[in-house]
Amino acid sequence: MTSRTRFLLLAVLAGWATTTQAQVPAAKAAPGAPPASSASPVPSADPVGTAPGEAWGAARWNMTPEEVLSAFPKAFRLEPEVRLEDGNTVTVGIDGHSFEGLAFRVRFIFAKGKLALVSLRTDPAKYVDAPAYEKLRKDLVARWGNPVESAADSNFIDMRQTRWDRGANRADLKYIPGVVAMVFYPRPAPQ
């Protein structure tokens, strides 16, 4: 997945792109699925794996939507799924996931039907300030070590990003005023 794709995905999930905010948050659970507002357990204290194939929690890269739904009891199918500009789909979600004192909405993104990216972001209806991002960043540095990249830009709006390489995986922590997002994806192969 290219950096442009990740940016577009973040834009969609933050409500910036042409997809309306109501499409993702208002997604309905599939019949018989648990309520979307339930918190989801993550099997490990570290939400992103470091071994090849490990993605986030019980998720593994290349899982199908059905496998992700089976791996997380609180996961639900988005109806309708969100189709991104690059053809990838946001198909499965978990709402109300708590991590390091923040509540996140988790969205699983699939490329050609296989898990390619996991996105966690705070609810845009509940403003999150920059100190919450800085606290989470500090907590992740203590847990994962120093990041491989950090960037900030306040020319247009206050945007911050920190990136960690975690074995075969990558984790990005992002702040855009009001929203904190974490994006997990396989680490690109060296060029």
Which of these ranges, 9-23, 45-59, 109-123, 176-190, has the smallest mean pLDDT?
9-23
Q: Which amino acid is at 7?
A: F
With tokens 């309520």, the residue in question is 35
Beta-carbon contacts of residue 7 (< 8 Å; ≥ 6 apart):
none
CA distance 20 to 13: 9
0.85 exceeded by pTM? no
pLDDT of 143 over the 60 cut: yes
Torsion of CA 54, 24, 33, 53, to 10 degrees: -10
Q: What is the pLDDT of residues 83-135, one digit of tens each?
A: 999 999 999 999 999 888 899 999 999 999 999 999 999 998 899 999 999 99
